[in-house]
Structure 1
Amino acid sequence: MKSYARISLIFLTLAASMGLILRSMQSGFPLMNYKFLLHTHSHIALIGWVYNGAFIIISNLLQVQNNKVFKRLFWITQLSIVGMLFSFPFQGYGAISIAFSTLYVFCSYYLVVLIFRHTIDEPKSTKSRFLRWGGIYLIASSVGPFALGYFMANDMGDSIWYNLSIYWFLHFLYNGFFVFVVFAHIVSNGLSKGKTIFLLMNISLIPLFGLSVLWVEPPMFMYLLSGIGATLQIIALVILLKSKSIKLTNSLTSWLLRLSLIAYGSKLIFQLIGCTHSVQQFINDTVPYSVIGFIHLVMLGFFTLFLLFYFFTIEQIRLSRLSKLGSWLLIIGIVLSEGLLFGKAALIQLSIPWLTNFFPTLTVVSTLMPIGILLLTISSFSHRAIPDHLK
């Protein structure tokens, strides 16, 4: 299992490095095809890092770390990720990259089959419900990429349906599968209100997709549905926090969990206020900053910090001076980059001409993240004992 975590961290390092290159290209350094590299960055971050991290959590929850079928599935999935890594930068969505993407999709389908198979003895436990429904949403998310292929083949790349397919994929992947796997881990220790939290999260997911269509100015009932979905998720988080099942101390791992929960809570608040017409107009006017800031809030602030907390907890990353330094560099990089992105969006809306050298500044700040992640990756290869003062 330790090799799984190391591979995931290597992919995170690559994704962060590509993100830094993208920032440099926005600052005026045309190093390669921006769109192709963006596709590579997003796929490696989503699948090579977060999906792999979710796979590790699932394997531990189902206690199948040494199961040969799970092992084979993991390595076949890595083949698909490596294929995407070496094809997307050169052709974008082409025959080779689509072939490897399709291989990943079928691997994810088989993971869902295994989840149902290994929860057959306790299908009604809260942990199993989160895992099973997370798997269902993982399958649902795959409709997006298949729809993209259809729209591209029919010269509909500029239509609203193309963008809605992307939003469908992202919504059911991270709001559905990723979040449900995280909650499966949280409730696995016996949470008294776990069933209520599951019901609220599950009921909220379909209405919450309405947030992804508000930019096309749909009928008013879509705003209402989105608001209901966002409210239900906030209620679920409040119940979770009031249960006091999450124990926080002043250790590094607790700080990673604490900041991850703060990012998740911020995400829920942004979802709720995003259900208004005025905020949607603000988002439409500041897409390169507000939308990217929101995506990174979820992927870096919530998922990445949570997965690092999890890897420290199961000792896939050793606590050391190196890992502490890497963690804090990453945290500082996330906070500063998020502040710049949302700050720039606010300044544009207020017509204040500050941060004129925005992208060069963002590039410098973003350098902290791949450096921090690289230090964490290096520390995952350490077999040294944990120093007493870090325990």
Structure 2
Amino acid sequence: MIAIRKHIILALGYFFLVALLGVVLRLFFFADVPATYKFMVHTHSHVALLGWVYVGLTSLIYILFLKDAGIDKVYRRIFWFTQLTILGMLLSFPFQGYALFSIVFSTLFLVASYFFAWMVFTKTPVEFKSRFSYKCIRASLIYMIISSIGPWALGGIMSALGSTSIWYKLAIYFYLHFQYNAWFVLALCGMLFFIAENNKLKISRRDFKSFFIFINIAIVLTFFLSVLWTQPNLIFYNLAGIGAVLQLFVFLKFYSILKSAGLGSVIMPFSKQLLVIAGWVLVVKLLAQLLSALPYFADLAYRTPDFVIAYLHWIFLGLISPVLFALLIHFKLMRLSKIGFWIFFSGFVITELILLYRGLAMWQRWQLPEDLAVYLFAGSCLFPIGIGWILLTKLRTKA
């Protein structure tokens, strides 16, 4: 029997480390830190995506679809091999950035993720394969594999064109788009469908088919939002705009399907509250992407790093993490400390407001307060406090 609750503790441990690394990154702007900023950014981002979110999502996928498939031994080997690669990245990126050892461990992680996807595709019991939830999970894993084209391309781009090439940034944006907007989001949607199906809630096949077709089209088209900073041909702006509009329609459809099915009646109150928070965060994300389809704002976002960082944190901390927490609570894999969560969420709100204000100040050429970096550091300190509280509560509950 796989102890998935222990895996969730490990995922939370990664999240806590990510929060601590975030605090260290904030220190660079007003204190001497004996480390390389760029290397720490690489560590922070890799452990965030591949530690907390990847481990959390794959643990949920296992418990929902594979726990009775008789593949505990295979899953355990893939899981611990994956942890070895994450630990390798955690120990190599801070000291060398993208170099031999970090590249080796990153590559091995990709291989491990392919084996996980293969396991889901081939070992999921037949009775799950006709479910709407499985269709979403399968598609999300396909997008996870597609996203890896970005990292695979980086080596060739760096050696042939260098890290200043636009193709270098496009490869990174390709990876991030299909991680954030496809693999993560579609997997979370699939798990919400799973809850509806397990509670015998009625979902129209026609409605799901419409949602599924259009979300896949939207995922592909909204990638072009990530290339607009290169000021490409007008057709790419049109494709990006169509994708952004279609995305709005898709998530309105998703909300309508789950609301009509009565999902709210089978979700625990705190999980429902987390989903409501994530829903409003999603609305802002969709509107921001719609705005970024316009040439002026596409260029503005590229020229204002704080807007890009605020956007990535908005999705990671305000959308993906609360939904992941809600699902872990619902499937009884953790008891989330409300105090810890609200400390964490306060840090999210404070840091997002500061980043937004700093981005607006750069845009409008306002004078910035001298201590703004200190305020951002102080707000960031709430993340490890909140997540540490959640982790400690989880460990005490387990004990």
Superposition TM-score, scaled by structure 2 size: 0.91
Q: Please tell me the residue identity of whatever aligns with 2:344.
A: L
Question: SS at 2:321's partner residue?
Answer: helix
**Alpha-carbon deviation of 1:55?**
0.3
1:312 pairs with one of 311, 323, 329: 329
- The answer to whether the Cα contact below 8 Å between 2:81 and 2:112 also exists between their aligned partners in 1 is yes
Query: For residues 251-290 of structure 1, what are the alpha-carbon distances to aligned partners after superposition, in whole Å with 9 as ceiling and x for unaligned?
Result: 4332222112222221111111110012113213312x10
Shift of residue 120 of structure 1?
Answer: 6.8
Q: Residue type matched to 2:26 in 1? A: R
User: How far apart are the structure 2 equivalents of 1:299 and 1:339?
Assistant: 16
Deviation at 1:115, TM superposition (A): 1.7
Distance of 2:189 and 2:298 partners within structure 1? 29
Distance 1:256 1:27 in 2: 34
One-letter amino acid of the structure 2 residue matched with residue 73 of structure 1: I
Superposed counterparts of 1:144-155, under 5 Å: 144-155=150-161
Task: Tell me how far apart the structure 1 counterparts of residues 104 and 398 of structure 2 sit (CA, whole Å).
Answer: 41
Q: Cα distance, 1:91 vs. partner?
A: 1.0
Assess if the C-alpha contact under 8 Å between 1:62 and 1:118 holds in 2. no
Matched, 1:31 2:19: no
Say if 2:46 is the partner of 1:46.
Answer: no
Q: Which residue of 2 aligns with 1:2?
A: 5
Native 8 Å contact 1:137 1:173 kept in 2? yes
Superposed CA deviations along residues 323-343 of structure 1, whole A, max 9, x for unmatched, are 121100001110111111112
Instruction: Give the 5 Å matches for 1:65-84.
Output: 67-84=72-89
Asked if the contact 2:30–2:374 (Cα under 8 Å) also holds between the matched residues in 1, the reply is yes
Task: State which drifts further: 80-89 or 347-356.
Answer: 347-356
Alpha-carbon deviation of 1:124?
4.4
Summarize the alignment of residues 223-262 of structure 1 with structure 2, pairs less than 5 Å apart. Answer: 223-243=237-257, 244=259, 245-247=262-264, 251-262=269-280
Which amino acid letter does the alignment assign opposite residue 341 of structure 2? S
Aligned length: 381
> How far apart are the structure 2 equivalents of 1:212 and 1:96?
29
Partner residue of 1:298? Answer: 315
Matched residues in 2 for 1:172 and 1:38: separation?
20
Q: Distance in 1 between matches of 2:239 and 2:91?
A: 41
How far has the Cα of 1:113 moved from its partner?
Answer: 0.9
Match of 2:341? 327
Q: How is 1:52-71 mapped onto 2 (pairs within 5 angstroms)?
A: 52-64=55-67, 67-71=72-76
Q: Which residue matches 2:200? A: none
Question: SS in structure 1 opposite 2:395?
Answer: coil
Distance 1:384 1:61 in 2: 21
Deviation of 1:59 (Å) = 0.9
Deviations 1:118-157 (A, max 9, x none): 3472544322221121111111111111111112223511
* SS of the residue 1:341 aligns to: helix
Q: In structure 1, list runs of 5 or more residues that go unmatched.
A: 386-391
Query: 1:76-95 residue pairs with structure 2 within 5 A?
Result: 76-95=81-100
Query: C-alpha root-mean-square deviation of aligned residues, in Å?
Result: 1.9
Q: Distance in 2 between matches of 1:318 and 1:213?
A: 41
> Post-superposition shift, 1:383?
2.8
Q: Which of 89-98 and 292-301 deviates more?
A: 89-98
* 1:163 match: 169
User: Structure 1 residue 20 and structure 2 residue 20: aligned?
Assistant: no
Q: Mind listing any 5+ residue stretches in structure 2 that lack a counterpart?
A: 198-202
Question: Could you say if the C-alpha distance between residues 292 and 74 of structure 1 is closer, same or farther in structure 2, counting changes exceeding 3 Å?
Answer: same
Give how far 1:384 is off. 7.3
Of 286, 290, 293, the match for 1:268? 286
For residue 142 of structure 1, what is the amino acid of its counterpart? S
Secondary structure of the structure 2 residue equivalent to 1:214: helix
Judge conservation of contact 2:144–2:178 (CA < 8 Å) in 1. Answer: yes
**Other structure's SS at 1:110 match:** helix
Instruction: Note if 1:221 corresponds to 2:235.
Output: yes
| Distance across 2 between alignment mates of 1:61 and 1:225 | 36
Q: Where do residues 103-252 of structure 1 align in structure 2 (5 Å cutoff)?
A: 103-119=108-124, 121=126, 122-188=128-194, 189-190=196-197, 191-192=203-204, 193-243=207-257, 244=259, 245-247=262-264, 251-252=269-270
Counterpart AA for 1:74: F
Deviation at 1:314, TM superposition (A): 2.3
What residue identity is the alignment partner of 1:27? F
The one-letter code of the counterpart of 1:57 is: L
In the TM superposition, what is the alpha-carbon distance from 1:60 to its structure 2 partner? 2.3
- Of 88-97 and 254-263, more deviation after overlay is shown by 254-263
Write out per-residue CA displacement over residues 223-244 of structure 1, whole angstroms, 9 at most, x where no aligned residue. 1111111112211111122231
**Residues 144 and 166, structure 1, Cα contact 8 Å, conserved in 2:** yes
Matched residue, 1:378:
392
Q: Quote the Cα distance in structure 1 between the aligned partners of 2:398 and 2:152.
A: 46
Equivalent residue of 2:31, what SS? coil
Q: Is the 8 A contact 1:210 1:222 kept in 2?
A: yes
Contact 2:66 2:124 in 1 (8 A): no
CA distance in 1, matches of 2:189, 2:49: 18
- Larger displacement relative to structure 2 (245-254 or 178-187): 245-254
Cα pair 1:311 1:317 within 8 Å, conserved: yes
Q: Which has the higher helix share?
A: 2
1:368 to 358, 382, 389: 382
